[in-house]
Structure 1
Amino acid sequence: MAMLVEETGKVIIVEGRSDKKRIESIIKEPIEIICTNGTISVARLDEIIDTIYQKEVYILVDSDDSGNKLRKQFKRELPEAEHLYIDKMYREVAAAPKNHIATVLLSANIDVNAEYLI
């Protein structure tokens, strides 16, 4: 029997697998995390938009050129998405301390494991 994942209606879009793993270890609620794997084609973007229709969408990408490019693309194609930002000194989501990411996620009302809020 297949186990159903509870749908929260929230989606976080990140760049890479390491970003996804980092966020998965911090969040406490079931949220779909989609990886773009860097740059994204129009076809892939349309595919993502179709799957996230009617959901709360958060964009959490690196503070670098490719992340900024991706963010611009999402601002154009998904204007209703909420953009979350890590501190520029960390540059990459995967390199940011878990407590910093937890604070960023919590500010967007995403439930995080309390151990990262110390």
Structure 2
Amino acid sequence: MDKVIIVEGRSDKTRIEPLIAEPVTILCTNGTVSAVRLEELLAPYEGLDLIVLVDADKSGESLRKLFKKVFPEARHAYIDRSYKEVAATPVRILLDVLIGANVRVNTL
């Protein structure tokens, strides 16, 4: 397991988990986090491929900024702003986003 996908909440995790066809760790930040909390959360996954998949809203953008500062090596996957939340994004779109992040997905 060399990939870690970071999402904001459990609903995001449960939305993308069944779409993924490879062993991946999905971590939830569960709301706003500080740089220290983020480092603590990700310490066990140091050196792995970090993929940030957060909502296209104010809290998601602030979390993304924090990631860019604390973990500049992390890759960022984006959902379209029109969907606002990962959990509300259509499955077909999420599959495309995951494929774009080099994550193997289950075919529908």
TM-score in terms of structure 2 length: 0.96
Aligned to 2:103: 110
- Measure, in 1, the Cα distance between the counterparts of 2:69 and 2:54: 15
Alignment pair present for 1:99 and 2:89: no
Aligned to 2:25: 32
Alignment pair present for 1:74 and 2:55: no
* Residues matched between the structures, number: 108
Question: What amino acid is the match of 1:93?
Answer: V
Secondary structure, in 3 states, of the residue corresponding to 1:29? coil
**Alpha-carbon shift at residue 42 of structure 1 (Å):** 3.2
**Alpha-carbon shift at residue 58 of structure 1 (Å):** 0.2
**Alpha-carbon shift at residue 48 of structure 1 (Å):** 2.2
Alignment pair present for 1:41 and 2:34: yes
**Alpha-carbon shift at residue 51 of structure 1 (Å):** 1.5
Question: What amino acid is the match of 2:62?
Answer: K
User: Identity percentage over the alignment?
Assistant: 53
Structure 2 stretches lacking a partner, 5+ long: none
- Measure, in 2, the Cα distance between the counterparts of 1:90 and 1:102: 14
Q: Which has the larger radius of gyration?
A: 1
Aligned to 1:11: 4
**Alpha-carbon shift at residue 49 of structure 1 (Å):** 3.0
Q: CA RMSD in A?
A: 0.9
Which has more helix, going by share of residues?
2
Aligned to 1:58: 51
- Measure, in 2, the Cα distance between the counterparts of 1:13 and 1:109: 15
More displaced 10-residue stretch of structure 1: 39-48 or 59-68: 39-48
Question: What amino acid is the match of 2:13?
Answer: K
Secondary structure, in 3 states, of the residue corresponding to 1:114? coil
Structure 1 stretches lacking a partner, 5+ long: 1-7
Secondary structure, in 3 states, of the residue corresponding to 1:28? coil
- Measure, in 1, the Cα distance between the counterparts of 2:107 and 2:13: 19
